[in-house]
Homo-oligomer: A and B are copies of this chain.
Amino acid sequence: MSETKHVVIAGGTHGNERTGVQLIRRFRANPKELERDRFKATTLLANELAISENCRYLDQDLNRCFSSALLNGKAENREQSRAQEINRLFGPKGASSQTDWIIDLHTTTANMGVTLVVQQHDSLALDMALYVQQQMPDSVIFYEDNAADVDPFLCSIARHGFLIEVGPVAQGLLRWEIFEQTRMAVMHALDFIDLQIKGSVNLPSPREAEVYEFIKKLHLPLDENGEVRGMIHPDLQDKDYQQLSPGEPIFILDTGETLLFEYPETVHVAFVNEAAYYDQAHALSLMRKRNLTWNG
């Protein structure tokens, strides 16, 4: 367990999520913060064109361009080209990737606090999430189920991927508490990698954690022309990870009429009123809370 690890911290995968961009700039000015006993992480500003334009992406969401199909096909726009370039520099995606870990930094306009996004097939990333959660008890584990091959996330080109999503913060600006929470999560993630190399991670066996699994997205209320005609109900706004039961208010039309949640079961919610999802008129994600047990 003594090999050097190649670890990359990525920011600006979405160009208008300034927190990650500013954190990368801080790390570049203060590289000692990324050093641990057994390795030294490097940094990546993933979508520099989008960063300079202060937009999420130019042609296509870069964080949807890292499936094997898109990486191995003909690039059809600027983000697909950039994804292939990043894959050459830090991949190639798959078991032979030169990069052990990519930790990708994101923000959300939703009130999701520190959310740690891991894929179900990656139990070491789940260990990392559990370790970070031990240090930051309010953080939440978001348990995604993308097979490696079709996983479109940037961090999927490393052998292990970890996405840190912090909110609420508007696009295009910096808030100190969001910046600092993101930085702390990165520090703990790097500590985990160092402990793991040394064989001294202290996690229970078997592992146990409470995780949130994605069920489906719901659309904003739309009229017959597909135009938005309502928004998240104020009773649900900012209630990420809380329960939503059938019959409770979910939307309010722009006329003030309340719409109730029609669904067969009580669920939890996330990405409530994420600005980036208005392009597809997605209002929120329904989630299922699960108690998970696994062997480390």
Q: Are B275 and A22 in contact, CB atoms less than 8 angstroms apart?
A: no
Rounded to whole angstroms, the CA-CA distance of A265 and B109 in the bound complex is 36
Q: Are A22 and B228 in contact, CB atoms less than 8 angstroms apart?
A: yes
Rounded to whole angstroms, the CA-CA distance of A101 and B274 in the bound complex is 35
Q: Are A233 and B170 in contact, CB atoms less than 8 angstroms apart?
A: no
Q: When the two chains form the complex, which single residue of B174, B231, B255 contacts A175, counting CB atoms closer than 8 Å?
A: B231
Q: Identify which of residues 11-47 in chain A touch chain B, using a CB-to-CB cut-off of 8 Å.
A: 18, 22-23, 25-26, 29-30
Q: Are A25 and B170 in contact, CB atoms less than 8 angstroms apart?
A: no
Which of chain B's residues has its CB closest to A220's CB?
B174
Tell me if A89 counts as interface (CB < 8 A to partner B): no
Q: Are B279 and A176 in contact, CB atoms less than 8 angstroms apart?
A: no
Q: Are B170 and A275 in contact, CB atoms less than 8 angstroms apart?
A: yes
CB neighbours of A273 from chain B (8 A): 173-175
Rounded to whole angstroms, the CA-CA distance of A229 and B25 in the bound complex is 8
Tell me if A254 counts as interface (CB < 8 A to partner B): yes
Q: When the two chains form the complex, which single residue of B55, B109, B179 contacts A173, counting CB atoms closer than 8 Å?
A: B109
Q: Are A176 and B228 in contact, CB atoms less than 8 angstroms apart?
A: no
If the complex has contacts A23-B254, A54-B278, A254-B23, are A231 and B170 also in contact, measured as CB distance less than 8 A?
Answer: no
Tell me if A85 counts as interface (CB < 8 A to partner B): no
CB neighbours of A231 from chain B (8 A): 22, 173-176, 179
Tell me if A8 counts as interface (CB < 8 A to partner B): no
Tell me if A252 counts as interface (CB < 8 A to partner B): yes
Q: Are B176 and A278 in contact, CB atoms less than 8 angstroms apart?
A: no
Tell me if A59 counts as interface (CB < 8 A to partner B): no
Q: Are B172 and A254 in contact, CB atoms less than 8 angstroms apart?
A: no
Q: Are B54 and A252 in contact, CB atoms less than 8 angstroms apart?
A: no
